[in-house]
Structure 1
Amino acid sequence: MTTTKDAASEHREDAVPTVPTTNEPTPANGVDLEEYRMNVPLWKRVWQHSLTQMFLLSVQSFCGPAISDAITGLGGGGLATPEVSNISNALRYALLAITCFLGAPIVNKLSVKWALVIGSMSWPIQGSAYYCNSKFGNQWYLILSGAIAGVGTGCWYVAEAGAIMTLAPSGARGKYLALWIVARNLGQLVGGAINLAKNNEKGVSGGISPDTYIAFVIIQCIAFPFAFMIAPFERVVRYDGSRILVSEALSTKMEIKRIAKTLSSKLIMLSGLWAFWSFFYTGTWTTYLGLYFSVRARALSSLISPFFCILGCFGLGFILDTKYLSQRRRAQVGLYTVIILNVGVYIWSIIMQTKFNRHNPGSIDWDDGLYASSFLPYFFVQTTGPLSQSYMYWLLSSFATDAQENVRNGAAFRGIEAVGQAVSYGINTKSQGNPLIGFCVTFALLGISVLPMIFLVNTTPDRIPADVIQEQQDIDHKKGADYV
């Protein structure tokens, strides 16, 4: 693994960073905040603030991926049988993976903003396909929507991954990522509330009410206008006055070479198994809910499962942002925290499913005595899964040398992650499949990913290379100005 100094040297050789195109002054420590406040209108300062940009991304995460996950979290997409939903999701994540692997050159050419705009248009298509399937039994549209959502969401995910790893100041990355994770889970909470309001009658079997999907589609449409409000990275100002390091645009050929280099880098090679595992659980838990829970029990599960995640993600964020530990030590503490919590959840899940294999509980309702013990593993995995994601993006951003590299690293991680999801849904395409297989495979993947992650975490630099490079450029820029 290269050191911070080596990364900085390599970055200078490969590309000449651009000078921010704004009119605000750029002293040695970034932006002179006093002058910035005097010379720039309030609305523009609010728009350019890194926290505002993170909020805009979080709103999109709430309206798009979170609502999509909420539909998935209904168990088989809330349909009477989960087979077609699992096929659609398997196709979706297969194409999402391909798009992510090719996404960095696309996003760096289009810009983050326009990649988000394109991606935000795909979610209402997926939501409407679930409505058509539930209302009219239209299966081909549901499968086609999986393909469309795979490509569109792939563009959006690559842009989002680069943005969430780039926007935050070095001392607040954990909290910024927690905000993003909470937005993702609030979407599921709202989706669960809508679902529960429309599907609360006891004894109802089959799929959820078709009207539920209309409410989901309306929320998914809201992401589109917020995508237009994203600011270019070079205009973003963080609360400490620092700017984002943005390099000159590269040719498509050079971008493809860079993404190939990223995929073969130690960073991605060591984190690849973790990426494959990180969302592998979704396919199995979707099948688990569809097989063993009533409609209203699934609705209640999708409503209350995000609550603990909110506390957990901000707790991890404070650990990762603490000033009393070095960045490497924070990375180590964060990794072991996430691993221990996941191990506990998967042991519980395997024990529970083993009992179900011996005696099928039928359709569990929320007033059944078995509900609490069978639901709690799902409740906790909805926290440990996002914790694993939040931690990994924090770790990847610790190695970046500029914003574009965050996009490439995020694209590679998201691509591998999507492959894992595609395989997971592929395993669970049959509704009568045994979730125990999925639980055991997921647990095994966690086990084999731990050792490479320990090696990676032990090489975490003490400071983010991009910050070191930006500070040196600002100093050189000020020296040049003083000389003139």
Structure 2
Amino acid sequence: MSANETEKAASSTEGPQDGAVNGKPWMYKTRKIGPWTLPHFASPQVQLLLVSFVCFLCPGMYNSVNGLGGAGQLNKNLSDVSKSNTATYSTFAVVGFFAGSIANRIGLQLTFFFGGFGYFLYVASLLSYNHNANSGFLIFAGALLGVCAGLLWCAQGAVMMSYPNEHEKGKYISIFWVIFNLGGVIGGLIPLAQNMHSDAGRVNDGTYIAFMVLMVVGFFLAWLLADSKYIVRNDGTRVITMKNPTWKSELLGLKDTLLTDWYIITFFPMFLASNWFYGYHFNAVNGAYFSIRTRALNSILYWSMQMVGAFCFGLILDMKYLNRPARAKVIWFILFAVTMGVWGGGYAYQRTYTRESAPTVDKDWTDSGYVGPMFMYMFYGFYDAAFQTCAYWFMGSLTNNGRKLANFAGFYKGIQSAGSAGMWAMDFNGKPYMTMFASCWGLLGASLLIAAPVIFFRIKEHTDLEDDLKFSDETAADVTGLALADEQPPSPGKK
């Protein structure tokens, strides 16, 4: 039975199916407000919104801080901040690769809570650095943030890719990306408002304190999340997970994913490229070229364009008039064309200054010639969202299994973070800005070419339910209320 057939058959039922793991009754009650019916608490829609706002308040605010260049500190090329970012992405890379197994085992609430705390501690270390230049605390906080972020982003990716039905994955990815990047936009307003009339080279203490307060709200919000085993879609189907995960089962699942889904390795260069350019964007462009208040404005524009990019590509990803294999090919060609266009423009821009000449620039939004660099930075934000929403959609099109997608998300974030660490290392080692730029453009283009065979020939119209259940201790009856041909239907109320 195909995934499409089971989806249609299951659509005649509502709420949790017999034989499945049930949450509390209140989790499945819908509520009416005027003419609208709100989805039940354990629905993909509500849970995606909760995850989005956790990320809005934690990594979204962190992006605003980092987007200032040098994390808003006095020296725009501050080596301690770059070293801290290198520590972040180094531990992120190691933990992220195994994070799927950890998140599956300890559950979403603890994963997101611990993940959010790491962002809070990092900003606290920046506040401390403002007064005592304690590089040890800053680098330690960066390393711990990498551990926390590896867990948070792995769980987030699994939720975003496995909770929606196949025909809604593009919409869910774009909704998350819009809300998450709204955090970067609103977060960018804080340093802009507080430093509007400042000619200092760093943001003030109030900026960091405001970020810390918002992050506390974010990581406590994680306790409202429901575990994946309780999620029920509107058509009555469930997320494919492990009912009784153990450390052994999750580590074996990680090994099985690498062996049976070996083709995911062709996506590894895409994963590496997907955050490689952040160090270049934040330090070599925004941090090196603009004044502090203009950097804050640019940060707002950058994350705003991320929202635009996510919205535009979300519409393309769920196009109804093309089947999914055809859509995958069209999306690949569009993304490759955008890569050449945006980074081609970036090459012309990067030729106008070098690392050596950058300290003499400090361009302000009142200066002539600001508009061109501003639009270039905006298009970099648009491109980031386009590349990452497409990468998530490609992964989500290969399987619907939540456990396997957690491992995919772990691979993605782990390898992505290794790329980020590489770029931050290039920055604090003083590599020429043109070298940093060339590494970004070359890696992005090459990664799309390497992933093309899997995107063109492996993505099918529907993912077979039988294939997805091989990675779970659940049955078709558990996730759809229906039994496959070789399974006995469950007795009422029993598994």
Cα separation, 2, equivalents of 1:68 and 1:400: 31
Alignment of 1:58-97 (within 5 A): 58-81=52-75, 82-97=78-93
- Residue 42 (structure 2) aligns with: 48
Aligned with 2:126 (options 130, 133, 142) = 130
- CA shift, 1:39, in A, is 11
Distance 1:427 1:262, change over 3 A: farther
**Residue by residue, what CA displacement relative to the aligned partner does 1:97-124 show, whole Å, maximum 9, x if unpaired?**
1111121221121122321122122111
Contact 1:327 1:462 in 2 (8 A): yes
Letter of the aligned partner of 2:449 in structure 1? Answer: L
Cα separation, 1, equivalents of 2:328 and 2:319: 11
Runs of 4+ in 1 over 4 A off after TM superposition: 34-40, 358-361, 466-473, 477-484
Aligned with 1:156 (options 152, 158, 175) = 152
- Residue 23 (structure 1) aligns with: none
Contact 1:169 1:242 in 2 (8 A): no
Q: Give yes or no for the alignment of 1:329 onto 2:326.
A: yes
- Residue 284 (structure 1) aligns with: 280
- Residue 177 (structure 2) aligns with: 181
- CA shift, 1:83, in A, is 1.5
Cα separation, 1, equivalents of 2:410 and 2:118: 18
Distance 1:331 1:443, change over 3 A: same
Cα separation, 1, equivalents of 2:27 and 2:371: 58
Distance 1:483 1:306, change over 3 A: closer
Cα separation, 1, equivalents of 2:16 and 2:108: 28
**Residue by residue, what CA displacement relative to the aligned partner does 1:208-260 show, whole Å, maximum 9, x if unpaired?**
12211111111111112221111122221223333212234454344323323
Distance 1:380 1:263, change over 3 A: farther
Aligned with 1:475 (options 455, 466, 482) = 482
Cα separation, 2, equivalents of 1:305 and 1:39: 38
Segments of 5+ residues of structure 1 without an aligned counterpart are 8-25
Distance 1:145 1:201, change over 3 A: same
- CA shift, 1:262, in A, is 3.2
Q: Give yes or no for the alignment of 1:392 onto 2:399.
A: no
Cα separation, 1, equivalents of 2:370 and 2:408: 41
Report the identity percentage: 23
Contact 1:66 1:185 in 2 (8 A): yes
Higher helix share: 1
347-356 or 185-194: bigger deviation = 347-356
Contact 1:158 1:414 in 2 (8 A): yes
Letter of the aligned partner of 1:268 in structure 2? Answer: I
- CA shift, 1:463, in A, is 0.7
SS of 1:259's partner is helix
Contact 1:50 1:168 in 2 (8 A): yes
Cα separation, 1, equivalents of 2:26 and 2:201: 61
Distance 1:67 1:483, change over 3 A: closer
- CA shift, 1:375, in A, is 2.4
- Residue 240 (structure 1) aligns with: 235
Contact 2:28 2:41 in 1 (8 A): no
**Residue by residue, what CA displacement relative to the aligned partner does 1:114-169 show, whole Å, maximum 9, x if unpaired?**
21122122111011111111233222211111011111111111111111111112
Aligned with 2:306 (options 309, 331, 334) = 309
Letter of the aligned partner of 2:336 in structure 1? Answer: I
- Residue 369 (structure 2) aligns with: 370
SS of 1:48's partner is coil
Segments of 5+ residues of structure 2 without an aligned counterpart are 18-24, 32-37, 470-474
210-219 or 283-292: bigger deviation = 283-292
Cα separation, 1, equivalents of 2:282 and 2:250: 37
Q: Give yes or no for the alignment of 1:32 onto 2:30.
A: no
Count of residue correspondences: 461
Distance 1:482 1:127, change over 3 A: closer
Alignment of 1:66-465 (within 5 A): 66-81=60-75, 82-201=78-197, 204-263=199-258, 265-288=261-284, 289-357=286-354, 360=358, 362-430=361-429, 433-458=431-456, 459-465=458-464
- Residue 22 (structure 1) aligns with: none
Contact 2:16 2:236 in 1 (8 A): no
Cα separation, 1, equivalents of 2:226 and 2:27: 19
Letter of the aligned partner of 2:381 in structure 1? Answer: Q
Letter of the aligned partner of 2:14 in structure 1? Answer: L
Letter of the aligned partner of 2:460 in structure 1? Answer: P
TM-score with structure 1 setting the length: 0.88
Contact 1:31 1:243 in 2 (8 A): no
SS of 1:302's partner is helix
Cα separation, 1, equivalents of 2:431 and 2:414: 26
When the two chains are superposed, the root-mean-square deviation of aligned CA atoms in Å is: 2.9
Cα separation, 2, equivalents of 1:128 and 1:38: 38
Letter of the aligned partner of 1:73 in structure 2? Answer: G
Contact 2:229 2:243 in 1 (8 A): no
Contact 2:309 2:382 in 1 (8 A): yes
